Amino acid sequence: MTNTLLVLIGPTGIGKTELSLNLAQQLNTVIISSDSRQIYKELKIGTAAPTTEQLQAVQHYMVGTHSISDYYNAYEFEQDVLKLLDTLFHSHTNVVMTGGSMMYVDAVCKGIDDLPTIDPELRKEVMETYEKEGLDAIRRQLKLLDPVFYEQVDLKNHKRVIHAVEVCLMTGQPYSSLRKNSAQERPFNILKIGLDMDRTELYDRINRRVDTMVEDGLFDEARTFYEHKALNALNTVGYKEIYGHLDGEYDADTAIELIKRNSRRYAKRQLSWFRRDKKINWFHPAQAEEIFKFVESSLKTI
């Protein structure tokens, strides 16, 4: 039987965790998290990290493996998971990977660019330009350094534009020349399951999930790491809105509404990204039995 990585993906708040547990238990296997924030051991509530009970029910990997002060990216995740799979496939024919971090999922399934770590001083210089002169100045810089990527990138996405400029300046080469153009071959099969549902239903789930996080102590968790708020690990939905509140920009109720709004927007971006992948087999999360039967029949034909 061929080794298979079962990839369970979908937007935030849709129910991937519970379904992945059931799937792993049915297949008598383990789970790898492909959530770019669940790797941070300090962040449990805001990342909806698996509970102690869930971690005891099924062995999880790539959960709580790093500190918020650690630099970590999708390329490193790819390398770590490929090494991990090489070991896991000796004892498991199938392994479940679940999460909604688009770049992390694609890194393992398709490969990602081995881009350089950006020098902190260089990053500081680029950020100062962005803060003083705005995104237009960074866009103009990118157009000069890499006109090819300038035509491809979402020019409204300041993080991608800034990162591309950083890479150009760090390497002395156009960012586009360093990017892979084709998916990497993997020594295992990949079966992708996507979860989706009606937008109204999904957004209601997201709103209720945020309320639960707040009840569970999200504000206290964020407050604990306030002095570290500039770290990349905390530049994420749920934390940055609370830091805006703690900085006096708005009240707590507004922070909660912003978390809900930004979580809904993130879910929309996730679905747009995943929808481009024609290899994903889509289901409603309530279709657990159909998903199990589909996986079972698919594994027989692989």
* 157 and 228 together in one domain: no
* 48 and 91 together in one domain: yes
Domain tally for the chain?
A: 2
pLDDT of residue 180: 65
**Interval 62-76 mean pLDDT:** 91
Which of 134, 151, 178 terminates a domain? The answer is 178
- Pairing of the two strands 280-283 and 4-9: unpaired
**Interval 30-46 mean pLDDT:** 96
Cα 87 to Cα 188: distance, rounded to the nearest angstrom: 13
Residue 119, number of CB atoms within 10 A of its CB: 12
Mean pLDDT score across all residues of the chain: 93
* 234 and 195 together in one domain: yes
**Helix/strand/coil for 114:** coil
pLDDT of residue 181: 60
pLDDT reading at 302 higher than 90: no
* 102 and 63 together in one domain: yes
* 170 and 140 together in one domain: yes
Report CA Rg, the chain.
20
**Helix/strand/coil for 113:** coil
**Helix/strand/coil for 213:** helix
- DSSP letters along 240-266, please? HHHHHHHTTSS-HHHHHHHHHHHHHHH
Nearest 5°: CA angle at 268, between 224 and 201? 90
pTM (two decimals): 0.83
pLDDT of residue 102: 87
Cα 40 to Cα 43: distance, rounded to the nearest angstrom: 6
Q: Could you tell me the CATH number of the domain that includes residue 241?
A: 3.40.50.300
pLDDT of residue 38: 96
Nearest 5°: CA angle at 239, between 233 and 242? 150
Residue 83 is part of which domain span?
Answer: 4-112+182-301
- DSSP letters along 10-23, please? --TTSSHHHHHHHH
pLDDT of residue 235: 84
| Banded model confidence at residue 272, pLDDT cuts 50, 70, 90 | confident
CA torsion angle for 290, 292, 295, 297 (degrees, to 10)? Answer: -70
Query: 58 CB contacts (<8 Å, ≥6 apart)?
Result: 21, 24, 25, 30, 31
pLDDT of residue 166: 92
pLDDT of residue 68: 95
Per-residue pLDDT tens over the stretch 148-193: 989 988 898 898 899 999 988 888 888 887 776 667 899 999 999 9
Which of 162, 178, 194 terminates a domain? The answer is 178
* 203 and 103 together in one domain: yes
Helices and strands (H and E) in the chain: how many: 14, 6
* 172 and 206 together in one domain: no
pLDDT reading at 146 higher than 80: yes
pLDDT reading at 135 higher than 80: yes
pLDDT of residue 142: 95
* 205 and 169 together in one domain: no
* 160 and 21 together in one domain: no
| Banded model confidence at residue 24, pLDDT cuts 50, 70, 90 | very high
* 82 and 12 together in one domain: yes
**Interval 275-291 mean pLDDT:** 95
**Portion of the chain with pLDDT greater than 70, in percent:** 98
| Banded model confidence at residue 1, pLDDT cuts 50, 70, 90 | low
Per-residue pLDDT tens over the stretch 191-249: 999 999 999 999 999 999 999 999 999 999 999 999 999 888 898 999 999 999 999 99
Cα 195 to Cα 282: distance, rounded to the nearest angstrom: 6
